Amino acid sequence: MTRADLEIPPRPLAQRLGAILWPSFFAAGVAAMVFFAIVDPLMLRDVTFPDLEMSRMAGYTIGFFLFWAATAASSLFTWLLLRPASRFNRRMPS
């Protein structure tokens, strides 16, 4: 039996996307909830960009998506590290 026989075939795109986006969505939701329970987005605005016109809702939404971007990047990284070498290796064109 060769190594290639032991390879797991690539998972479908939807499954890969799901495995990256969904856990990170979940983690971002929890993080945003805890963060904004303690920090008022308007006060955060005051100490960072006091001149910015921003509503609380906008603050929550931006915050959530920032968290999601971070957690999704981490999930994506994990996925890259777990990919077998054979997904990257290729023959030189001859």
Partner 1 sequence: MSDGASTESIPLYVKQPKIYPREIKGRFARLRVIAVWVLLGLYYVLPWININGQQIVLFDLVNRQFHIFGITLWPQDLIILSLLLAMAALTLFFFTALAGRLWCGYACPQTVWTEVFLWLERFAEGRRNKRMRLDQGPWNREKIARKSAKQFLWITFALWTGFTFVGFFVPIRDLGMRTLEFNLGGWETFWLFFYAFATYGNAGYLREQVCKYMCPYARFQSAMFDDDSLVISYDVNRGEPRGPRKKTADRAELGLGDCIDCLGCVQVCPTGIDIRDGLQIECIACAACIDVCDDVMDRMGYPRGLIRYTTENAMAGKPTRILRPRIFIYLAALLALATLVGLVLTGREPLLVDVLRDRTALHRVTDQALENPYTLKLSNRTDRDLAVRIDVQSQALTGLRIIEPTGPVVIAPSEVANQPLTIGLPIEQAQTGMHEITITATDAAGNVLNETETRFFIPARALE
The residue assigned the tokens 């777990």 is 82
Residues 6+ apart with CB under 8 A from 40: 56
Please, are residues 74 and 24 in contact by the beta-carbon 8 Å criterion?
yes
Residue of 28, 81, 87, 94 interacting with partner 1 (CB under 8 A): 87
Residue of 19, 66, 70, 76 interacting with partner 1 (CB under 8 A): 19
The alpha carbons of the chain give a radius of gyration, in whole angstroms, of 20
Q: Under rule CB under 8 A, which residues in 45-84 are in contact with partner 1?
A: 46-47, 50, 53, 55-58, 60-61
User: Which residue's CB is nearer to partner 1, number 6 or number 47?
Assistant: 47
User: Which residue's CB is nearer to partner 1, number 5 or number 53?
Assistant: 53
User: In the chain, which residue ranges form alpha helices assigned H by DSSP?
Assistant: 3-6, 13-38, 41-48, 56-82
In the complex, what is the shortest distance from the CB of residue 1 to partner 1, in angstroms, rounded to a whole number?
Answer: 20
Torsion of CA 64, 68, 71, 73, to 10 degrees: -140
Which residues contact partner 1 by CB under 8 A? 10, 12-15, 18-19, 22-23, 26, 34, 36-38, 40, 42-43, 46-47, 50, 53, 55-58, 60-61, 86-91
